[in-house]
Amino acid sequence: MLSAFVRAFRTPDLRRKLLFTIAVMSIFRVGSFLPTPGVSYPNVQTCISEIGDGNDLLGLVNLFSGGALLQLSVFALGIMPYITASIIVQLLRVVIPRFEALHQEGQSGTAKLTQYTRYLTIALAILQSTTVITIARTGQLFTGCSVDVIPNDTVVTILLMVLTMTAGTGLIMWLGELISERGVGNGMSLLIFTSIAASFPTALWSIAGGDNGATKFIIVLGIVILVIALVVFVEQSQRRIPVQYAKRMVGRRMYGGSSTYIPIKINMAGVIPIIFASSLLSVPGLLAQFGDQNAEWVIWLSNNLVDPAAPLHLALYVVLIIFFCYFYTAITFNPDEVADNMKKYGGFIPGIRAGRPTAEYLAFVISRITAPGSVYLALVALVPTIAFILLDISTNIPFGGASILIVVGVGLETVKQIESQLQQRHYEGFLR
């Protein structure tokens, strides 16, 4: 594999792509430490040193921003507004027929949906930046901190902060698209990968420096390696449905007669169910903050739904992951559309009639594959969390199921893309 990396850098155009990608990722990391105008950077560092990770409800956003959220930097929102906008646009395809028609138009329709995603990203960035600044002003971002992170909270300063964070989100979106066009591809995914991976050294150092640090460090490292092995095994697994194309004459040429397959992954939903489940489970904690802290319903929410170690919280976490796994798979994979496309080009599954029987067969296979896929996803999300609770380690460290799944998935996809470009130039790939 190391020799393949060397050959990749020896190829001029591939070397330019790799260096360009590394440069953009470096710019992204630098922007994560540039403070937003109006924020007192020394006070922010004081609050982080006093109370640690801050608000648990913002842990996922802070993880995806590479720690930039708690720094209140220019890139504080990270890539989350774009992820949210992309998910919303995908979900709207089911509700709005116009979006589904654009999806079926091909490249021109996809470009239009991408434009809608960009507009929605900016709108969400304005909303989220306003929310983050409000939480920081009221002291809920760093509860119990002795200093103010925004000393001068005039209207002009707040507007400038909102504009800066929104512009930072737009710049991140542009950087991700640059990597997709001029780099090795998967621009947005690589930026998320960079954010999460950048938190690994600090998290490992914090574990090693605590009580029984060496023992906990070894146990955490073993759990992470075990989960990574599970993720690699499952993410590389797929169910291949054979497809045969009949021969047909077009003019004087004979087309078809070939056989291929439809690759169906065990986990077709990716990390989206974990994100959805985490977002929904953060709502009770948000509601509890607006109520009387001594009220019975607030205490019940805090003990049963907000506490990550509560049995009810863990049970709901698993149920929501399984539900969203089925839900998102049903939205992103349409058996009727696949069956119609196969019938249009003369394709059929051996032993299955074209048309409606093919769609029913594909729906049957998807429902059977999603069952173990959802259980796998729940295990990946739950095992690290339970282990960290038993070890008395903060669940905000970047070794949870979602972060490992993203890092491994993006890493595998990036290696595959580089390997395919090496093979196009008659070089050996990474995997011999």
CA-nearest of 400, 370, 366 to 383 is 400
Q: Is residue 426 scored above 60 in pLDDT?
A: no
Query: Hey, which residues does 249 pair with through a beta bridge?
Result: 254
CA dihedral 79, 82, 87, 90 (to 10 degrees): -150
Q: What is the mean pLDDT of the chain?
A: 80
- Domain 202-397 is found in CATH 1.10.3370.10: yes
Instruction: Count Cβ atoms within 10 A of the Cβ of residue 207 and give its class: 0-12 exposed, 13-18 middle, 19 or more buried.
Output: buried
Largest Cα separation within the chain, whole Å, is 82
Relative to beta strand 347-348, strand 253-255 is unpaired
Q: Which of 114-118, 136-140, 210-214, 406-410 has the highest mean pLDDT?
A: 114-118
Buried b / exposed e along 235-267 (16+ C-beta atoms within 10 A) = beebeebebbbeeeeeeeeeeeeeeeebebbbb
- pLDDT tens-place string over residues 60-98: 666 666 667 777 888 888 888 888 888 888 888 878 888
- Name which residue leads in pLDDT, 357 or 417: 357
For the segment 301-330, the average pLDDT, to the nearest whole number, is: 84
Q: Is residue 51 scored above 70 in pLDDT?
A: no
Residue 63 tokens read as 């993880």
pLDDT over 70 for what percent of the chain? 85
Query: Hey, which residues does 265 pair with through a beta bridge?
Result: 238
The domains spanning 1-199+418-432 and 202-397 adopt the same CATH topology: yes
123 — pLDDT class (breaks 50, 70, 90): very high
Tell me the C-alpha distance between 93 and 101, whole Å. Answer: 8
- pLDDT tens-place string over residues 365-375: 998 899 888 88
Q: Is residue 167 scored above 90 in pLDDT?
A: yes
pLDDT in the model for residue 119? 92
pLDDT in the model for residue 171? 92
* CATH topology (fold) of 1-199+418-432: Preprotein translocase SecY subunit (1.10.3370)
54 — pLDDT class (breaks 50, 70, 90): very low
Global pTM reads 0.77
Give the start-to-end residue ranges of the domains of the chain.
1-199+418-432, 202-397
- pLDDT tens-place string over residues 363-414: 999 988 998 888 888 888 887 777 777 777 665 555 567 778 888 888 888 8
CA-nearest of 332, 387, 363, 380 to 233 is 380
Q: Indicate the range of 48-57, 59-68, 223-232 predicted with least confidence.
A: 48-57
Q: Indicate the range of 205-219, 334-348, 390-404 predicted with least confidence.
A: 390-404
Tell me the C-alpha distance between 161 and 149, whole Å. Answer: 13
Asked whether 51 and 143 are in contact (CB, 8 A), the reply is yes
